[in-house]
Structure 1
Amino acid sequence: MSSLRAWMRLARSLPLPRTMAAMPCRFKYTQHQGVKGIRNRKSFYEAQMQAGQGDEEEGDMEQKEQGSPELTDMRFLDDRAYDEVAGGAMRITRDTASSQQVLILQPYVKWAAKRQNSPNSDVRPEDQLAEASALVHSLPNWQVAKALKVPLESLEKKTLFGSGKLMELKALVADLRQERHLTCLFVSKGTLSFAQKRFLEAEFRLPVMDRYSVVIQILRLHATSAEARLQVAMAELPYIWAQAKDASVTQTRRQGYALTDLQKEILRTRERKLRAELDRVRRQRQLLRQKRKQQNYPIVAVVGYTNAGKTSLIKALTVEDALQPRNQLFATLDVTAHAGCLPCNLEVIYMDTVGFMSDLPTGLFECFVATLEDAMLADVIVHVQDLSHPCHAAQRSHVEATLRSLAFNVAGGDSTASQLPPIIDVYNKCDLVSSIPEAASDAAAVHRISARSQTGLEHLLEDIEQQILTSTGRRKLQMRVPNGGPEMAWLYKNAAVVETIADEENPERLMMHVVISQRTLDQFKREFLR
């Protein structure tokens, strides 16, 4: 006992490490049911976080009492302990300013018979490699040291590459280390298993990233609003859990990576808080949709593959100078609303959405379902497609399949209620192609436009107008009302007035051409046609 007391006095006299000194409170043992040494049931990690939040608890309560619509405290997103776990699983960091020299390897199945069963079987390896290079170029200070295709017999092999190809790649990595100071290896595959990633890192002695990791790094960079940061943080967790599960399939062959109890607790606590905040975001968006529905504004959702020109199209349709489109992948992460006007003077709201990308798990985009619900519940969907892209047809198929999957999830798994709104196909960037591809030329109902040069927009607006009138039950009517009377003012306020002309038979009356819904028309009748 005396030696234990001496050891405790010595421990108290030693300076605390930096990480421990930063902790707001010290872990304590408590007596429980007469037994000494039993820990408090509140976890060490949660006690740390709650102690840090205690100083502002009164201010938070005042905000909640006032009914502030802002999101709650977001400090739990900036957690160093979680960053260590995420960095170990995904090889990502919040510091994107550091320079990176990346070797891109695009694996593909070389046998056509086996390739039919693989994802993106209709996409050429050259196009996949170009998309992988575009992902790297989307990050500042990241440069492509070299990019090459690697034919394989299967993408599921534990070592991924054969022994001969592995020797070639190791020699290439050694040369690039000297020439370009290579710092990272990017294997352009949706997700690498834990075994594949650890094997490649041991062979090449470099951090290895897959498409999921690189996309998360881009999303972290472009997530500026609190809502986008929540959704990106939620998208990271399934990958980390999958890597940890893959690492612990067999206890005898574990390769040195396993989550400790504290790390698992960190992930569970973070996931619980993220789900609570995202549920709050979802409820707020439901209230916004209800307000828009009460105001009777039609909704046009603009969706498409990433960098297809969705924001550029909305800017061309709304003439909104505040919109600044960027030629980057995943430049838009927030679903934003923009007011526009149709040729019939009917005001509509265009919803800008996050872009999709192939060869990524659907779960990545399901984390954005809180904002993508606005697209699924819109009156009309405008599907923007990059006609100048060589994989235009494959991108179109991927977006359509993702929309069906999201609609099924929004409907709660009910196949009968997962019907999509009417979809208008738009081929953008027609000014960048000299000739229309055969697959695109066969589609007569598709609009071919250029959002940048603003060509082809008139027919597109007419089609949007017709679809909106059909889906919302609005009609175009001619109404004879007194000139300058209350009826005229009421229609200007509650309906879309296309034009007003004088009545040739009675100069005291006007002929008003209006677009009006049945509910609004019934209100007009009750008000003025008693």
Structure 2
Amino acid sequence: MTSLRPLMRLTRALPLRPAMVGVLHSRFKYTQHQGVKGIRNRKSFFEAQMQAGQHGDEDHEEAERGDSNGNLADMRFLDDRAYDEVAGGAMRISRDIASTQQVLILQPYVKWSAKRQKIPSDVRPVDQLAEASALIHSLPNWQVAKALKVPLESLERKTLFGSGKMVELKALIADLRQEKHLTCLFVSKGTLSFAQKRFLEAEFRLPVMDRYSVVIQILRLHATTAEARLQVAMAELPYIWSQAKDASVTQTRRQGYSLTDLQKEILRTRERKLRAELDRVRRQRQLLRQKRKQQNYPIVAVVGYTNAGKTSLIKALTVEDALQPRNQLFATLDVTAHAGQLPCNLQVIYMDTVGFMSDLPTGLFECFVATLEDAMLADVIVHVQDLSHPCHAAQRSHVESTLRSLAFNVSGGDSATSQLPPIINVYNKCDLVSQPSSDAAVHHISARAQTGLEPLLADIEEQILAATGRRKLQMRVPSGGPEMAWLYKNAAVVDTVADEAYPNRLMMHVVISQRTLDQFKREFL
């Protein structure tokens, strides 16, 4: 220790320049973390990436809190280049969808009906192929170079196609490369395993996408609001994790999609932030539902298969010019509220919801549970079905099963409280069918031609009155008195007529709940 004292006195005597301080600080810091240098550097790089994407910790804390108006927090973490690289590698998608794509669609189907799984018997391969083409046409600048059905013995084999079919497809792809500049291959299967995707890409030398990847691309295109962007971003993560689930330590390149420790941390951090923001969305939605409940507005949720005409029906029922229905798949991603009026003058709110689609994992739509809760907790559900579609029966079954699954998840897994509200079935686009259905229990309408709406409104009114405990009454009140004004404010007044027996009184036909009736009695009786 005596040999170090002169050095220590010299150090105290000499003034240290800032550069020297930095050198000494880095040396001591390096010595302290010696042995874990690689881990520290990787963590520091990740922190630097997150800070660059969020512009500092202060901006991040402000984003977590949200603004004073109760809007969603600043979500700049969604635009993360490091995450885009991971997502692009797993799903073969990018945020830039403006470039033109020439797509070859392959619709695989199992030849033997005994081996067909999760596909209804009345769904034909040609119908599946038409839906796959509609998915591609939903993306701007994406064109179908060719679409064909491919019979298979099984959808689970690694190569997916047999050796003979592979030779035919290679020849077809070679021709399409020259004729139409083929750029992408779309295998219309819910999800492809990483082994299947890697094998096909190596054989065909083209990016390979499945239904999940294409649907995510469409959802990204139509996600314009903060809530929709959050839910679409959350829907991407289960697919990325599933692609990497089969990864092996010794055979990573052959078994699954390789994720580094940094990439896994990026995914976990993103998932944690998304869950926190989605919890905020659910709380905000819950507050809005409580306000609507306090104002005593009945809720009618309009659900159905994608492109069945839900928005068109709401526009016909509410006569709201701002609504612009589009003939596209997944055109509506946000649950939006629209005010309407029943024949009894009762004000109701119609909730427009995201459409469903078959041959997709249920987890994709479970990511939209933050907004689909409004449908699950509505007073009445209107199930819109496209009668002109050849697979409308299968679409109906798929929507019903998905609703039951979502109701079970919303209730927290409690089967006793997972009961759905009353459902009114509606066959839309009847003007496009030469032989309409004879099912008398279903309403036959055309939202575009506005036919068949009166019986539907009458049924909605009947179901709403039963579900909310309202009833129609005749009440004799003084003409021009405070009772009359109170009823106009707090109840739905159907009509008023003069009372022949009492000239200074009126007979008011009202729709009123028991709670509101009790308030009226306490106020005036």
Q: How far apart in 2 are the matches of 1:42 and 1:194?
A: 28
Q: For residues 66-465 of structure 1, what are the structure 2 equivalents within 5 Å? A: 67-115=68-116, 117-248=117-248, 251=251, 254=254, 257-436=257-436, 440-441=437-438, 443-465=439-461
Are residues 198 and 63 of structure 1, via their aligned partners in 2, closer, same or farther at CA, if it must alter by over 3 Å?
closer
Are residues 29 and 528 of structure 1, via their aligned partners in 2, closer, same or farther at CA, if it must alter by over 3 Å?
farther
Q: Could you tell me which residue of structure 2 aligns to residue 527 of structure 1?
A: 523
C-alpha contact (below 8 Å) 1:309/1:428 kept by paired residues: yes
How far did 1:57 drift?
2.5
How far did 1:445 drift?
1.2
3-state SS of 1:339 partner: strand
How far did 1:67 drift?
3.1
Q: Could you tell me which residue of structure 2 aligns to residue 20 of structure 1?
A: none
Q: How far apart in 2 are the matches of 1:29 and 1:519?
A: 75
Q: Could you tell me which residue of structure 2 aligns to residue 508 of structure 1?
A: 504
C-alpha contact (below 8 Å) 2:66/2:72 kept by paired residues: no
Q: Could you tell me which residue of structure 2 aligns to residue 12 of structure 1?
A: none
How far did 1:72 drift?
1.1
3-state SS of 1:254 partner: helix
Are residues 245 and 58 of structure 1, via their aligned partners in 2, closer, same or farther at CA, if it must alter by over 3 Å?
closer
How far did 1:398 drift?
0.2
Q: How far apart in 2 are the matches of 1:78 and 1:373?
A: 27
Q: How far apart in 1 are the matches of 2:50 and 2:421?
A: 44
3-state SS of 2:416 partner: coil
TM-score (norm 2): 0.91
Are residues 84 and 120 of structure 1, via their aligned partners in 2, closer, same or farther at CA, if it must alter by over 3 Å?
farther
C-alpha contact (below 8 Å) 1:299/1:349 kept by paired residues: yes
Q: How far apart in 2 are the matches of 1:58 and 1:144?
A: 44
Q: How far apart in 2 are the matches of 1:34 and 1:118?
A: 58
- For the pair 1:487 / 2:488, whether they are aligned, the reply is no
The amino acid that maps onto 1:92 is I
How far did 1:193 drift?
0.5
Q: How far apart in 2 are the matches of 1:424 and 1:249?
A: 53
Pairing partner for 2:472 from 467, 476, 493 = 476
Q: How far apart in 2 are the matches of 1:53 and 1:430?
A: 51
Q: How far apart in 1 are the matches of 2:42 and 2:122?
A: 55
Q: How far apart in 1 are the matches of 2:191 and 2:212?
A: 6
- Cα deviation digits, residues 315-346 of structure 1 (max 9, x gap): 00000000000000000000000000000000
3-state SS of 2:200 partner: helix
3-state SS of 1:144 partner: strand
Q: How far apart in 2 are the matches of 1:319 and 1:218?
A: 28
Are residues 281 and 29 of structure 1, via their aligned partners in 2, closer, same or farther at CA, if it must alter by over 3 Å?
farther
How far did 1:47 drift?
4.0
Are residues 253 and 124 of structure 1, via their aligned partners in 2, closer, same or farther at CA, if it must alter by over 3 Å?
same
Q: How far apart in 2 are the matches of 1:35 and 1:236?
A: 37
3-state SS of 1:501 partner: strand
Q: How far apart in 1 are the matches of 2:348 and 2:394?
A: 31
Q: How far apart in 2 are the matches of 1:317 and 1:58?
A: 44
How far did 1:70 drift?
1.2
Q: How far apart in 1 are the matches of 2:63 and 2:310?
A: 40
The amino acid that maps onto 2:246 is D
How far did 1:248 drift?
3.0
Q: How far apart in 2 are the matches of 1:459 and 1:237?
A: 44
Q: How far apart in 2 are the matches of 1:176 and 1:94?
A: 26
How far did 1:48 drift?
3.0
C-alpha contact (below 8 Å) 2:298/2:379 kept by paired residues: yes
Q: How far apart in 2 are the matches of 1:299 and 1:73?
A: 30
Q: How far apart in 2 are the matches of 1:87 and 1:207?
A: 11
C-alpha contact (below 8 Å) 1:29/1:40 kept by paired residues: no
Are residues 34 and 151 of structure 1, via their aligned partners in 2, closer, same or farther at CA, if it must alter by over 3 Å?
closer
How far did 1:55 drift?
5.4
Are residues 65 and 451 of structure 1, via their aligned partners in 2, closer, same or farther at CA, if it must alter by over 3 Å?
closer
C-alpha contact (below 8 Å) 1:104/1:146 kept by paired residues: yes
Q: How far apart in 2 are the matches of 1:106 and 1:40?
A: 47
How far did 1:247 drift?
3.4
Q: How far apart in 1 are the matches of 2:155 and 2:129?
A: 16
TM-score (norm 1): 0.90
Query: Unaligned regions of 5+ residues in structure 2, if any?
Result: 1-25
Are residues 167 and 66 of structure 1, via their aligned partners in 2, closer, same or farther at CA, if it must alter by over 3 Å?
closer
The amino acid that maps onto 2:320 is E
Are residues 149 and 43 of structure 1, via their aligned partners in 2, closer, same or farther at CA, if it must alter by over 3 Å?
same
Identity of aligned residues (%): 86
The amino acid that maps onto 1:48 is Q
**Structure 1 stretch 485-494 or stretch 41-50: which is displaced more?**
41-50
Cα RMSD for the two superposed structures: 2.1
C-alpha contact (below 8 Å) 2:379/2:464 kept by paired residues: yes
3-state SS of 1:247 partner: coil
| Structure of larger gyration radius | 2
The amino acid that maps onto 1:110 is K
- Cα deviation digits, residues 362-411 of structure 1 (max 9, x gap): 00000000000000000000000000000010000000000000000000
Q: How far apart in 2 are the matches of 1:477 and 1:495?
A: 11
C-alpha contact (below 8 Å) 1:31/1:37 kept by paired residues: no
The amino acid that maps onto 2:123 is V
3-state SS of 1:416 partner: helix
The amino acid that maps onto 1:126 is V
How far did 1:520 drift?
0.2
Are residues 112 and 34 of structure 1, via their aligned partners in 2, closer, same or farther at CA, if it must alter by over 3 Å?
closer
Q: Could you tell me which residue of structure 2 aligns to residue 18 of structure 1?
A: none
Query: Unaligned regions of 5+ residues in structure 1, if any?
Result: 1-27
The amino acid that maps onto 1:100 is Q
- Cα deviation digits, residues 2-48 of structure 1 (max 9, x gap): xxxxxxxxxxxxxxxxxxxxxxxxxx898499554653896532343
Q: How far apart in 2 are the matches of 1:41 and 1:147?
A: 46
Q: How far apart in 1 are the matches of 2:50 and 2:516?
A: 53
3-state SS of 1:504 partner: coil
3-state SS of 2:510 partner: strand
How far did 1:122 drift?
3.1
The amino acid that maps onto 2:456 is L
How far did 1:73 drift?
1.5
